[in-house]
Chains A and B, each alone.
Chain A
Amino acid sequence: MTGGKIILIIDDDETLVEVMEMIFREHGYDVHSLRNGASVDQWLATHTPHLILIDYLMPGMNGAQITRHLRRLPVTATTPIIMLAATRQYQEHGLKAGVTSFLTKPFDLDTLLSAVNSYLNPLPLSAESFAEKDNDSSTDDGN
């Protein structure tokens, strides 16, 4: 169930944003995007994101600076923030700023979806999955 879950993408690369928007919309998410951090406060005045995907290098404030700002706001203080960071140095800056996790460009489509789904659509542990696990274990024991 992804209906109603809002993803905010903050990235200055129009094409990459368009591709990610299409992918997330096809999976039922409500996707919004900003090209930089300048208008984030204005956007947050009327929206509450369930997850934020943020690039590191952008004109104006970088992803770490925007994250630091977002963590000070009650509406995004605990929102999962996934940073699209290319280097370990950028990741360290992001981590100090309060980023939840990272994706290194270029990333797989399935990796992108798994990362987002892990926060917005975690797979429930069903009785069947436990039963399957038990069966697997008993098979392993038998060998």
Chain B
Amino acid sequence: MAQKLPKLIADASHDLRTPLATIKLVGQLMAKRHVTKNYDEFDAYLNTIDRKVDEMATIINTLVERLIKERTQK
């Protein structure tokens, strides 16, 4: 049971970094569009950021629940 913990954290780290990568790229795209005053797709970008933040919150909640379960099973 104890050996599962590092993989759980490694996978959660990877799972969290994926939406984080999207948020970072979209944020930087918005910054570049702002320079050229191209705001055509800003609503879609903001929606993407909102969805990805929710996705990260879900991953964190799942991770916490699984860690609590691991500890109570020991």
Contacts and interface: CB of A to CB of B under 8 A. Distances in A.
A74 interface: no
B20 interface: yes
A104 to B, nearest CB: 8
Interface in B45-71: 48, 51-52
Secondary structure of the B side of the interface? Answer: helix
Interface residues of B, number: 21
Contacts, number: 62
B10 A89 contact: yes
Contacts of A109: 24-25, 28-29, 32
B34 interface: no
Interface stretch (A13-21, A31-39, A118-126, A130-138): A13-21
A105 B18 contact: yes
A57 interface: yes
B25 A112 contact: yes
Interface of A: 13, 15-16, 19-20, 22-23, 55-57, 84, 86-87, 89-90, 104-110, 112
Interface of B: 10-11, 13-15, 17-26, 28-29, 32, 48, 51-52
